[in-house]
Amino acid sequence: MRAHEAGILHAEGYGAAPQWLPFPQDVMELLPQLWPSNVVRDPSGVLSIAGVPVTDIARDFGTAAYVVDEDDFRSRARAFRDDFTAPFAAVAGADVYYAGKAFLCTAVARWVMEEGLNLDTCSGGELAVAQRVGFPAERVALHGNNKSVAELRQALEYGIGRIVVDSFDEIDRVAAVASELGVTAPVMVRVTVGVEAHTHEFIATAHEDQKFGFSLAGGQARAAIDAIVAKGESLRLLGLHSHIGSQIFDTSGFEIAARRLVGLHTEVADEHGIAMPEMDLGGGYGIAYTSEHEPLTPGQLGTQMAELVDRELKEFRDGHPQAVLPRISIEPGRAIAGPSAFTLYEIGTVKDVEVSHGVLRSYVSVDGGMSDNVRTALYGADYSCTLAGRRSDAEPRLVRVVGRHCESGDIVVMDEYLPGDIVPGDLIAVPGTGAYCRSLSNQYNHTPRPPVLAVRDGATRVIVRRETIDDLLALDVDEPSLSQEVR
């Protein structure tokens, strides 16, 4: 758990903040790294996004709501497409796949397509979104450790650009579906490289105890390649794939992953005479959820990643002067979708609780919670928030923002300072909710899910509508009551 005990006890008896959370100089200040680029606070204290005040959004669309800065999303996508990939021109080029699991709907799939990125999917449902918008099939990838035969058929009939295979069972399955359809399936091999990244550090081991991929150290990755080659016509080996984790802030873990992938890449060249044309280093680039996070820009990441790839490929290049170098792909999800949105909530209750003798905690309840943002409950993620609908000069107070669900772990923001005069009816905004919030949302307590609103050039549009009670009940099959039948 957290080191609240280590923090400072503040005025009025409101408890101890974690050490990373400084007492704010100005509780109304917006830290630019946390907010979509078109969010500002006007002199009356109201936040606006792309020219639209959040008070108008709350009035017209209700709360809770996910609010996306479309221009910010598109700019981040473009920054990966251009700034990240530019330094790879000196290696063998790079492609960016947006990881749809971070947040996908038809509008977002269109934005990704229009901005010239490729798309990662990991289910038949995500694939269906790509198909719905006519995403060019050769720019789409399919991942997953247990894809069904139906999903593989859906992908191959669509003409998908790559299937990342994850088990020996799946190699057989993909080959069988491909021969049944009379096509060649383009496959990559998901390799477990033994690098696991956790935010500020990574661990490099030989073996990994997890469900994804073929182990490099255990020899399964080699055996998978042999199995794919043995399938002949039905499979085409594109290259190796690894994904080392999420919310990563430095590139040293990627360097070890690249070194290990290049080792296997070289073995395949030597033993099968195949220079695989692709190599995928996955996603996982971190974003700022609070003042403690300082992410690199896509341009900085691209420079560092291109350098490390170039370094790790040197030996292969020297030993195989004729061979084509693998084109690198990356799969950012969070780093594109996350910072481009915030969640707008209305405060329903404010309650002071005595947590120990003389120490109070202020619980601020909002009209959402673990149904629209499960990350805090699921893995203790940190978020921040701000008063969004008015100005306040009140002394900051440490609060915990909680949801409306029947779980005491239903926390949205564990620790944050808000003005001490907050009251029911106030709006608050939680930034950094563009990734893994809507996509992980649920209907716990029969709570209709919030809409996703896209704001651009002073106009707000619904891109995913709010769920209704009818939506919630639509799947229930009404059965005649037994007692009525008997009567």
Ligand X SMILES: *Cc1c(COP(=O)(O)O)cnc(C)c1O
| Active site residues per annotation | 406
Choices 181-189, 293-301, 332-340, 343-351; region in contact with ligand X by CB under 6 A = 332-340
Residue 239 near ligand X by CB under 6 A: no
Among 102, 117, 140, 313, binds ligand X (CB under 6 A): 102
Nearer to ligand X, 162 or 400 (CB): 162
Site string for ligand X, 431-450 (x = CB under 6 A): ----x---------------
Q: Could you tell me where the beta strands, DSSP code E, fall in 102-234?
A: 118-121, 140-142, 162-165, 185-192, 195-198, 201-204, 214-215
Query: Among 214, 228, 225, 232, which residue's Cα sits nearest to residue 265?
Result: 225
Q: With contact defined as beta carbons under 8 Å apart, do 258 and 312 qualify? A: yes
> In the set 36, 332, 339, 403, which binds ligand X (CB under 6 A)?
332
Residue 184: burial class (beta carbons within 10 Å; 0-12, 13-18, 19+): middle
Q: Quick one: which H or E segment has residue 55?
A: helix 54-61
Minimum distance, C-beta of residue 77 to ligand X, in the bound complex (Å)? 13
100 binds ligand X (CB under 6 A): no
Instruction: Work out whether 246 is an interface residue with ligand X (CB under 6 A).
Output: yes
Contacts of residue 368, defined as CB under 8 A and 6 or more positions apart, other chains included, come to 63, 64, 343, 345, 403, 404, 412, 447, 450
Burial string for 91-118 (b: 16+ CB within 10 Å, else e) reads bbebbbbbbbbbbbbebbbbbbbebebb
Q: How far is the CB of 104 from ligand X (least distance, A)?
A: 12
Residues 260-299 as x/- pattern, contact with ligand X by CB under 6 A: ----------------------xxxx--------------
67 strand-pairing partners: 342, 453
For ligand X, the closer of residues 7 and 239 by Cβ is 239
Cα gap 40→259, rounded to integer Å: 43
E strand or H helix at 39: strand 39-41
- The site that binds ligand X (CB under 6 A) totals a number of residues, namely 17
Structure tokens at 243: 């994904």
Which helix (H) or strand (E) is 335 found in, with range?
helix 334-337
Residue whose entry in the numeric block shows the structure tokens 């891109």: 463
Binding residue for ligand X, selected from 57, 67, 96, 99, defined by CB under 6 A? 99
Sequence-separated (6 or more) residues with CB below 8 Å from residue 256: 193, 195, 202, 204
Nearer to ligand X, 48 or 215 (CB): 215
Neighbours of 223 (CB within 10 A): 14
Tokens of 201: 């550090």
- Residues between 173 and 192 with contacts to ligand X, criterion CB under 6 A: none
Q: Does 193 bind ligand X (CB under 6 A)?
A: no
Among residues 135, 144, 139, 194, which one has the least CA distance to residue 174?
144
State in angstroms the smallest separation of the CB of 144 from ligand X.
Answer: 9
Binding mask 40-79 for ligand X (x = CB under 6 A): ----------------------------------------
407 assigned to a ligand binding site: yes
Chosen residue from 331, 346, 382, 416 binding ligand X by CB under 6 A: 331
Cβ atoms within 10 Å, residue 484: 7
Min dist CB 9 to ligand X, Å, is 36
Contact pick of 295, 333, 450, 451 for ligand X (by CB under 6 A) = 333
User: What is the nearest approach in angstroms of ligand X to the Cβ of residue 311?
Assistant: 23
Interaction residues for ligand X, span 130-149 (CB under 6 A): 143
Smallest gap from residue 428 Cβ to ligand X (A): 25
101 binds ligand X (CB under 6 A): yes
Q: Would the annotation count 331 as a binding residue?
A: yes
State whether residue 344 is helix, strand or coil.
strand
- Residue (7 or 161) nearer to ligand X, CB: 161
Distance of closest approach, residue 45 Cβ to ligand X, in angstroms: 33
**CB-side neighbour CA atoms (13 Å) of 420:** 12
**431 carries a ligand binding annotation:** no
Give least dist CB 379 to ligand X, A.
Answer: 13
| Region from 9-17, 99-107, 109-117, 199-207 binding ligand X, contact rule CB under 6 A | 99-107
Q: Does the annotation list 334 as a binding residue?
A: yes
For residue 216, how many C-alpha atoms fall within 13 Å in the half-sphere facing its CB? Answer: 25
What distances in angstroms separate CA 142 from CA 98, 162, 245, 290, 410, one per listed residue?
Answer: 12, 6, 18, 32, 33
The verdict on 334 binding ligand X (CB under 6 A) reads: yes
Q: Which is nearer to ligand X, 20 or 212 (CB)?
A: 212
Give me the residues that bind ligand X (CB under 6 A), please: 99, 101-102, 120, 143, 243, 246, 282-285, 331-335, 435
